[in-house]
Structure 1
């Protein structure tokens, strides 16, 4: 069985790629300009893809390219050039759903790993083995499996085949993301990367002979968010997944911010390091468990891993909980000062918290603040302004300064 225990982070652009690498990802997954399931974050042109792969490889990390849509006839002729360009750029694996694209990938990129997407809905060892026989190096299992089912798939598949599971991020009310609701209501196809997320909308009941008389389905005048799923969070259960045979621990969120990528990658990196150091005594410090609550998130659940998720739907609203704002990104530290670029307004006397890849977040009160010319100021209130604050600590470049709202 493979000894791989990989933290796999989502990347929507170059800023988020650097964030993932800075904060400890072993690998990243991203989309090119076609064939990916996140049309809104399809930011990697061939040039940027090559740049991203070069940076990741320089740090000893890997890059996986999403090719996991269900393409139509007119798109098939484009795939050869797309895949060959990706190979030239240096991608380490192609993430694929469609069997036709799988056959073409083997033809056009025979030396590149193939990972079977969660969109394929793999839920048993027979299908997993068949994908392995067809040339897959890795299978991303459906999110609807229990931990026991994952362990059985691992036990009944070749050791050389890698198993990947989602451990954090948004859940989909439809099976493995195979949803037609968005296309039906908005003509935006979820299986082609254009989901409008109608499962997050509020709904009322209307009787056909009483138009415009809306009856709440739930005891709330705002209606009900009956299709709205909670977010998944398994940071306290990585030991169980590892012992079940999971090789790659995948974080959802290619459309999320670089702050989200930084914080969540950092949390799971440190959690995995704790597990590796003592697999039989996996205990997380409280500050690390708190980190997953310091990004925008919905209510959390553990998905299907521990049985039917009766508490996985959240009916009150579909909004995010957001308790922290990023106020600045560190550029450098010298002469007792942090030099940074502003992201949100904050003031002299505020208590801030600095998150770096080095360890636990550190809080301190801003007692001195200077503009880029060294003049004393009381507030950083101009977008992207350069400033400095007094600090006894030295933090790495791209450390995050945040404030509790």
Structure 2
């Protein structure tokens, strides 16, 4: 953390922690059926959990159903969904267009054991939307997409090292929140600070002939919607081109930020791009693609072709829902409108924080934003202070109480299902949080 950031105003950690503990007690009393569901889950899963991000103390809510922009938990509480399955539920829950596409796919046969008529239309649409994608292949998740993009880079370049960034998340076995995780695949990663081009220049100076790829999110989403600075991302493009390495843009989430992803907003053409989340229409989905010469190594007609297997890579549900959503619902115009709406909302929330002189802020781009403690500039996870966790715990529990379903880490997602009244409800809930806890939020 820089000296300026150390000196920046921060909320009171001890008071926030006490308030969050009291809020957790109230949460537990209000959700007895979720608590019972958690206790039952403990008997069959470690910690009652099969997906780490969904756990939070004292116990996570169990969601019974969703419809449109709404969720209901097993205790009967209703929420406006501002998390949207961590950006996957772009169209809300069970949108009629998506439902119709899935039903038609089911009627025509669920497992076809061959190429199907749905693959090429979706691939063609993605190729048209994302200009750097000359050719692509489907996977089952963003994690798989990033694994395959890295493998493609290693094989294509004949090199072994991969630069990733602290705070980055590229999947369950490619996570760099505080460095190289113990669960990561055993590639030779060099973990560098985000938004620090000088450090990357030094790494290339020392290892240029060994670096196969740089993998980067144009905005670190799981890290807290930390925006990649244009000069930094442009510098990565220049360095990789100069040294014969490949630049991988992980747009699993940020592809939603315009009709052509953040790369289109920046005018940067990566060598490979990875996709996932909403593009599958709510189904399990991933894809990776880019330069024709890199992707041609997967052409099974060629001797020594790089293999890429996966029973469900082209499953009909993901292909059908993905094409229906991308062609009929999340058009480039819809993407622009949604992200403009998000820009306005985040500006209003930050305006509220400044007006009330509280040490909190919302970072992000367009339809994605994240709460943070303090008023310091945030260029990387190293700029986050000690008040982050208690502030986010308290904020999450307050928002749940007010009927707004957000992430425990302060992550907020807008979707096509949200109307202006929903955004006003969210804004009012944030204002009520400031009203309730204002004495704790000053430095």
Fold similarity call, TM over 0.5? no
TM-score by length of 2: 0.26
Query: Which structure has more RCO (C-alpha within 8 Å, separation ≥ 6)?
Result: 2
Question: Which is richer in strand?
Answer: 1
TM-score by length of 1: 0.28
